Structure 1
Amino acid sequence: MKSTLIQAGGNREPATPVAMIRQAWNNRALIVTLTRRDIASRYRGSALGMLWSILNPLLMLAIYTFVFSQVFRMRWGAGAASSPMDFALMLFAGMLGFTFFADSVNRAPGLILSSPNLVKKIVFPLEIQAFVVLGSGLFQAGISLLVLLVAFVLAKGEAPHWTAILLPLTFLPLCLLVLGLTWILASLGVFVRDIGQLVGHLVTMTMFLSPLFYPVTAIPESFRHLFYLNPMTFLMGEIRKVLIIGEQPAWGALSLFTLAMFVFASAGFWWFQRTRRGFADVL
């Protein structure tokens, strides 16, 4: 494996941030086509087909509402969300971001392994597969968002907060995080097959170590700073702000976080481009 990585390091594929953006723009039509095919393939052969993309988040919301409002009778806090239904909405808003993150990252290690025929096609831009995973995940997140907004209207009896239009800005750093991780894990998954198993466990750990089922205020102050090392902690809070609470995001922190995630995505793209030449030798 070491010799393969050394050989891959000599790759002359463009690996700059500008090249990353250019690849997405120049191949946008191909990305859209592959994304549509990827979405359709998830439900091909099932009796309900694409209807599952709506039923899945509906079932999740129904289960969360029942479990947390009738079984656990939990509250998010005494502030903006204090009823069981509010708890379900806050939980589902957190799941909106985490499910997108988890589904994309779990697919990443097998991304290249599942399409070895594309590796041998010199002209095919392998790096755009990360954008396909991103687009497919955003489609599912969009459906879940519609379900959440309808549930919000039914539960609150009012229109969603105007701040909901700011959701794309809170999702932008999450998308960059997913892109960076996808490129890194897709590359490592070729050389180290155990990565796929490890990532599944790490994603599960991340779920419980993120303020998904509980607010940040429930974490003891002595450990709270450690939770903020997890990028999902900040992102979940910003998503809940704009969707459920009706507050604007923390613009300064969000801007810095987005910049950091752009650097991370660029690093992931650089790693993928520098190791891709070794894919054919391993596969």
Structure 2
Amino acid sequence: MKNHPVSPTAVFETLARNRGLLWELTKRDFVSRYKGSIFGLAWSLFNPLLMLAIYTFVFSVAFKARWGAVDESQVNFAIVLFSGLIVHALFAECLVRAPTLIVTNTNYVKKVVFPLEILPLMTMGSALGNFMVSLVVLMFFCILSGTPLHPAGLLLPVLLLPLLLMILGFSWFLASLGVYLRDFAQVIGMLTTVALFLAPIFYPISALPPAYQSLLILNPITLPVLQVRDALLWGEPLNWGAWAISLVVGLTVFYLGFAWFQKTRRGFADVL
């Protein structure tokens, strides 16, 4: 049986070799979820706006949550909330789909020459498309409300790099496990919900005791949420030391997930 390469450079070689195929798969995946609907791609705007309205009402009106200022408006609260939600949505969309990636694409498994390792890259590309749409909505809200956007927001691709690497590593790992253990599809849905509420999305991290703040840092989306807000909305100095540590962790998860996928993919056809 063929041995698939697991070297750190193998994934980049695959990406370069199959970039055209990856682009077409990503484009088809992004468009297909809205194909046939009356509003089409407009749903990618409606969904985040609806969730934004619901969460803003529940937390700022019902629970009277605030980010610090007593006279903070609901619009400002919504903008801060939304900036965290879109980071979580990027994380959750990729991980929730990962356990069923191979199971729902069995026709690709039967094709010996098909690069299965690009499927998590496809879902990430599609999720990044939704993220960009939501980011445009966020910026539009900021402009309408007079909320300043800081130049450090241009660093968002750099700030999100560790998270993206980590997502890919987890996606490869879960895509493989999902073939052998189908229950992972249900477990990951619950874990991403836990990650949503155990990150400083609905509340400032300073609202928690120091001991719990340390625990929240272990959540992979905590640092990206904080740094996206610091860079885009608040213009605060960025913690590059924490970013460097998260980059090392992201690279480690990235490689281990890819190596695991390549080592275990030989059994996919037998199980499916």
| TM-score grouping bracket, smaller chain normalisation | over 0.9
Post-superposition offset of 1:93 = 0.5
| Distance (Å, rounded) in 2 between the aligned partners of 1:55 and 1:255 | 36
Post-superposition offset of 1:89 = 1.2
Q: Does structure 1 residue 50 correspond to structure 2 residue 25?
A: no
Q: How big is each residue's C-alpha offset from its partner over 1:56-94, in whole Å with a ceiling of 9 and x where there is no partner?
A: 223233334444444433211149x94332221111111
Q: Which residue of 2 aligns with 1:137?
A: 127
2:245 corresponds to which letter in structure 1? L
Q: Which residue of 1 aligns with 2:88?
A: 98
The ranges of structure 1 where at least 4 consecutive aligned residues each deviate by more than 6 angstroms after the TM superposition are none
Q: Does structure 1 residue 244 correspond to structure 2 residue 233?
A: yes
Secondary structure of 2:9's aligned partner = helix
Q: Which residue of 1 aligns with 2:109?
A: 119
| Distance (Å, rounded) in 2 between the aligned partners of 1:232 and 1:54 | 22
Superposition RMSD on alpha carbons, in Å? 1.8
> How many residue pairs get matched?
272
> Which range moved further: 130-139 or 53-62?
53-62
Q: Could you list the runs of 5+ residues in structure 2 that have no partner in the other structure?
A: none
Q: Which residue of 1 aligns with 2:154?
A: 165
Q: Does structure 1 residue 187 correspond to structure 2 residue 176?
A: yes
Secondary structure of 1:93's aligned partner = helix
> Which range moved further: 100-109 or 60-69?
60-69
Q: Does structure 1 residue 86 correspond to structure 2 residue 76?
A: yes
2:43 corresponds to which letter in structure 1? W
Q: Which residue of 2 aligns with 1:37?
A: 28
Secondary structure of 2:182's aligned partner = coil
> Which range moved further: 84-93 or 121-130?
84-93
Secondary structure of 2:27's aligned partner = helix
| Distance (Å, rounded) in 2 between the aligned partners of 1:48 and 1:248 | 41
| Distance (Å, rounded) in 2 between the aligned partners of 1:75 and 1:148 | 19
Identity of aligned residues (%): 46
Query: Structure 1 length as normaliser, TM-score?
Result: 0.91
| Distance (Å, rounded) in 2 between the aligned partners of 1:122 and 1:257 | 36
Q: Could you list the runs of 5+ residues in structure 1 that have no partner in the other structure?
A: 1-9
Post-superposition offset of 1:158 = 5.2
| Distance (Å, rounded) in 2 between the aligned partners of 1:75 and 1:178 | 30
